[in-house]
Structure 1
Amino acid sequence: MYVDIITIIAAGFAAAGVALILNRLTGRRLPRWIVPATAGAGMILMSLTNEYRWYPRTAGLLPEGYEIISTVDYSAPFSPWTYVVPYVNRFAAIDVAGAQRNANQPDLRLTNVVFFTRWQPMQTRSAVFDCAQGRSALVDSDLVFNDDGTIAVSRWDQTGLDDPATALVCQEAI
Structure 2
Amino acid sequence: MLHVTITLLGILFFITSGSFAKNTSVLFDGDSIAGIIKSDSLLNWNKEYLIAVHNKSTQKESKFLSGIISEWDITKAPDFGTKEDDYTAVFITTKGQAEVIYNYEGRIINVKKHLKNIMLPVHVYKTVAKKFKGWDIVQNKYKLSFKSGAEVLKTYVVTLEKGSRKKIFHLKI
Per the shorter chain, which TM-score range?
Answer: under 0.3
Q: Which has the larger radius of gyration?
A: 1
Greater share of helix:
1
Choose between structure 1 and 2: higher strand proportion: 2
Using the size of structure 2 for normalisation, the TM-score is 0.22
RCO (CA 8 Å, sep 6+): is it higher in 1 or 2? 2
